[in-house]
Amino acid sequence: MGFAGGNNQQMAIQKPKVAAPKTGEAYDFLSAMLGTQEQQFTAGSIIKGTISSIKGDDVFVDIGYKSEGQVSIKDFKDGETPKVGDVIDVMLVELENEKSGMVILSKSRADEQIRWDKVLANYSEGGIVHGTILSKVRGGLIVKVDGVDAFLPGSQLDVTPVHDPDPYIGKEYDFKIIKISNERRNIIISRRELIEAQQAVMKRELLGTIEKGQHRIGEVKNITDFGAFVDLHGLDGLLHITDMSWGRIKHPSEMLKVGQEIEVVILDVDLERERVSLGLKQATPNPWTDIESKYPANSRLRGKVVNLVPYGAFVEIEPGIEGLVHVSEFSWTKRIARASDVLAVGDEVDVVVLSIDPENQKIALGIRQTEANPWDTVQDRYPVGSRITGKVRNFTAYGAFIELEEGIDGMIHVSDMSWTRKINHPSEVLQKGQEVEAVVLEVNPADQRISLGLKQASDDPWNTITSRYAIGQLVKGKVSKIASFGAFIELEDGVDGLVHISQISDQHVEKVKDALKVGQEVEARIVKIDRDERRIGLSIKAVGMSDSQVEELTRDLSVTDLKPGENLVGLDAVFNDAFAQSEEWHPGAE
C-alpha cells in the first residue's frame, strides 16, 4: 500500500535581476554561494520554508531560493491554520519545470515522507505497534498507526475466522508488523500472530501448572456433535459429551452455549501432545454412589420419560439417574411392539426397581409391576375342567388362540379340535372372530399359558361307535377328502371312514380323483371297525354284494385282488397301511 501525496502545488518563481559583477572577485563569491544552494535544492528533498504571506487560498513560502514558493491552503490538515512567520516542511518536487519554468512544491507529500521516515526510524519487521482499525477494504482492513495507514489482511484479524469485521472497526489493538516495503511505502500487520504468540506463552505457563484432578474455570469456545472445546485462558481442552452429565443428553447444545463460563475438572493431561481432557459432570457428586441403598430392588418410584427406543423407554428418576423399562415390562397382558405405542417423551410414570448394576450404571425398571398380575389369580377364574366362551383371535400352524379376557389368551391345539377328524390346520374348523365354547385343560401361570380343548366340550362319538355301527352295515356319507391311497367319507356325528382305492370299484381305479369327488354322496358297507385306533374301513364295491358275500369278505380278510400282477395281500394290511398314510397325509398332497 502506498501513501498518496497531498495537493501538489506549483510555485511560480520570479527570477530576480542580478546586476553584473563589478569585479571578478565578487562574481566568484556569488557563484560559489549559488552553487552551494542549488546542491541543497534537489528533487524529492524535504526543506524548511517560512510563510511570508497568505493571499486567499494561496500560501507563499520563502525557501531561501531565488523566489518564494506557493502552496494551497488546502494542503494543510484540518485544524491546522497557517500564519505568516510559521516555519513549515515542504517537498521540492521539481526545481524548475521545463514548460512553465516554475518550482513545484508539496506540503502534503512532505508530511507523508516525514511520517514514513518516522515509521522507519521507530519500527521494524516483527515489532509491535498500536493502532486503530479505520475501515474495510478488499481483502482486509485499514489500520492507522502513528498517522500512517497500514494494511491488516482479513485472515490476520483474529485466531478464528471473522465473517463480519464491522464490530472491530473503530477499536484500538496491538499489532505485529509482518512486512515493511519502503519502495511501496506499505506496512502489513497482523493481530492474529500477536494473539497466537501470547497464547503460546500462556499455554506453556498453563501446561506447567495444570494437573489431573484440578478444577478450572473455562469458557465454551466451540460446540460439536461429540463435545465442546473449552478455553482455559491459554489452552483449549476437550469436554466430551459423555463427560458432560451423569444422565443422558443427545447433543452438547442441550447443556452448553458458546461463550458460557463453566467449571470443569481436568481428567487427563498429555504434555507431549499438549492436549487436555475435561469433565463437567465430575465437578458434581456422582449420583450413582450408594445407588443400591438409595433405590433398593422392588421400591416404587415416579419418573419422567426422557428417551424412547424401539425396545423400551428410559425414565429419569432424578437428575443424572435413568433406568430402562423394557417393552416386556410394560404390561402383564398386552403385547407391546414399540415403546412409542404406549409412552411419549415427557410423560410421568410410576415404576418399580427390578435390578441395579452400579458398575455399568444401569437400572432395570418395570411399569407392569405397579399393578397386580392377573396371571396370579388366573387359576381361580379359569379352573381346569371349567367351560369357557371366547373369541378366536389368531391362528398358528399348530393351533388357535382364544381371547378369554383382555390380554389373557388360551390356546386350542389342533389335536384337541376334533374327536373324529385329523385337523392339519385350525382354519379347517374355526374362523377368526368366531365365538367358541371350550374346556380348560391346563393352566400354567408361570409361563402364562392356558390350554383349551374344543372337542372336549362335546361327547366323544367313538365311545358309542360300536352301538351305532356294525361290520357289514350299509351306510351313506359324503366324500370329505381325497388322497392317493383312498377317500375319506364323512358319516354321522362327524365320524370319517376310509375307502381304500382297492375298495372303490370292481374295476381297476388308477387315481382316486378320477372316481370320486369331494362333496359327492356315496353308499358303502363297513368292513372294519377299530374303536381303540378310531378307524372305520369302508368298501363301496361291497354295496352290490349279497349279505353272505359281505359276511365272507369281512370274516375272511386274508386275501383280495388289488391290481393285476401285484402280490396278494391281506385286506386288513391294506387298510392298516392306508390309515398309517392318512396320519401323514394333508390336504393338497394329492
Judged against a pLDDT cut of 70, whether residue 582 lies above it is answered with: no
Give, in words, the CATH class of 374-457.
mainly beta
pLDDT bucket at 249, cuts 50 / 70 / 90: confident
- pLDDT band for position 34 (cuts 50, 70, 90): very low
Which of 3.40.109.10, 2.40.50.140, 3.30.750.210, 2.80.10.50 is the CATH number of 470-584?
A: 2.40.50.140
Binned at pLDDT 50, 70 and 90, residue 101 comes out as low
Per-residue model confidence (pLDDT) at position 23: 35
Question: Of all residues in the chain, what percent carry a pLDDT higher than 90?
Answer: 35
Rounded Cα distance, 83 and 54, in Å? 8
- For residue 391, pLDDT over 60 is answered with yes
Question: What are 498's three cell numbers?
Answer: 376310509
- Cα distances from 133 to residues 98, 127, 172, 188, in angstroms, run 43, 18, 6, 13
Q: Per mean pLDDT, which range of 117-126, 163-172, 294-303 is the poorest?
A: 117-126
> And the C-alpha cell for 105?
512544491
- The rounded distance, in Å, linking the Cα atoms of 80 and 451 is 112
| Structure confidence at residue 2 (pLDDT) | 40
* The residue type at 310: P
Q: Where are the beta strands (DSSP E) in 6-73?
A: 9-11, 46-55, 58-62, 69-72
Closest CA to 180 of 232, 145, 213: 145
Q: In whole angstroms, give the CA distance from residue 380 to residue 371.
A: 18
Q: For strands 435-444 and 521-530, give the pairing.
A: unpaired
CATH 2.40.50.140 fits 291-370, yes or no: yes
Examine the pLDDT at 419 and tell me if it is beyond 80.
yes
Question: pLDDT at residue 185 above 80?
Answer: no
pLDDT at 35: 41
Which CATH superfamily is 123-195 part of? Nucleic acid-binding proteins (2.40.50.140)
Residue pLDDT, tens place only, 367-377? 999 988 888 88
Please give the CATH architecture assigned to the domain spanning 9-111: Beta Barrel (2.40)
Confidence of residue 90 (pLDDT cuts 50, 70, 90): confident
Nearest 5°: phi and psi at 284? -120, 155
Give me the phi and psi of 331, to 5 degrees please.
-145, 150
**Domain at 210-283: CATH code:** 2.40.50.140
- CATH 2.40.50.140 domain span(s) along the chain: 9-111, 123-195, 210-283, 291-370, 374-457, 470-584
Range of lowest pLDDT (134-138, 217-221, 499-503, 533-537): 533-537
Average pLDDT over residues 389-409: 91
How far apart CA 43 and CA 96 sit, in angstroms, is 10
Asked if the model's pLDDT at residue 283 lies above 80, the reply is yes
Helices and strands (H and E) in the chain: how many = 9, 31
